[in-house]
Amino acid sequence: MTRNPRDLPRHTVEQRFVHWMNALSVILLALSGLALFHPYFWPLVHLFGGGTWTRILHPFIGLFMVVFFAALFVMFWSDNLIDAADREWLRHIDEMADGNDQNMPEEGKYNGGQKLLFWAFTLCIALLLVSGICMWRAYFNLPDTLVRVAATVHAAVAALMIALVIGHVYTGIWVRGTFRAMWYGSVTRPWAWQHHRAWYRRVARR
């Protein structure tokens, strides 16, 4: 299908691929992790072939995600450095959530919320990796106190991370015209003008 040739390219195919590998991993990790976290979610083990398979697979999916998140980090970190406009954006985040973007500053490729989320994901994944390794009994047998702290940290950070992922998906749905930026990589010019005007000015001139 031919789309409007004036649409602005936003994400390369490499960026989209890496993003969706992360998305796939985080969904599988959330489902298998929740199953092992609370009896309410135990039936989710059947998606993975039973309890033992869930226990075996979860850490390997975690490592898989770490590899793809590292790639995502390399591709995206420089676009996510927080500047003065982002801080101004974050000060008005409640107005944005209220549906009024009149007072939002002109934003670059990503807004303050997106950038904050990027760094929050980075921190969460680092903590989940370290604490997860500590809990991996099949290969590691570390001191009890360390494993206990790691288990608590892993659960708390994972819950936060899943909440952030839900928020991330929801904001993509809520701001209409956004999903396509990650599906097939382009956005419309009015979308860019409205939500990322500084970025629009930079790329639309070319």
Partner 1 sequence: MANDSLDIIRRSATTTQPPDERRHLEVAKLIDVSTCIGCKACQSACMEWNDLREEVDSTLGSYDNPRDLTAASWNVIRYAEVPTGNGGLEWLMRKDNCMHCADPGCLKACPAPGAIVQYSNGIVDFQQENCIGCGYCISGCPFNIPRFGPTDHKVYKCTLCSDRVAVGLEPACVKACPTGALQFGTKDQMKDYAEQRIADLKERGYQKAGLYDPPGVGGTHAMYVLQHADQPSLYSGLPDDPSISAWVSLWKGPAKPIAAALLGLVALGSLFHYILKGPADVTRESEEAVEDEERP
> For 168-187, b where at least 16 C-beta lie within 10 A, e where not — what string?
beebeeebeebebbeeebbb
156 binds partner 1 (CB under 8 A): yes
Q: Catalytic site residue 19? A: no
Dihedral of CA 63/68/71/75: which sign?
negative
Catalytic residue among 38, 46, 168, 195: 168
The neighbour count for residue 156, using CB atoms within 10 Å, is 12
For the segment 77-106, give every residue that binds partner 1 (CB under 8 A).
97-99, 101
Residue 18 or 32 having the CB closest to partner 1 = 32
176 binds partner 1 (CB under 8 A): yes
Task: Find all residues with CB under 8 Å of 167, minimum gap 6, and list them.
Answer: 117
3-state secondary structure of 92: coil
189 binds partner 1 (CB under 8 A): yes
- The stretch near partner 1 (CB under 8 A) out of 62-70, 72-80, 122-130, 166-174 is 166-174
The neighbour count for residue 127, using CB atoms within 10 Å, is 18
Known catalytic residues?
A: 168
Where does this chain bind partner 1 (CB under 8 A)? 6, 35-40, 42, 50-52, 54-56, 97-99, 101, 135, 137-138, 141, 144-145, 147-149, 151-152, 155-156, 159-160, 162-163, 166-167, 170, 173-177, 188-191, 193-194, 204
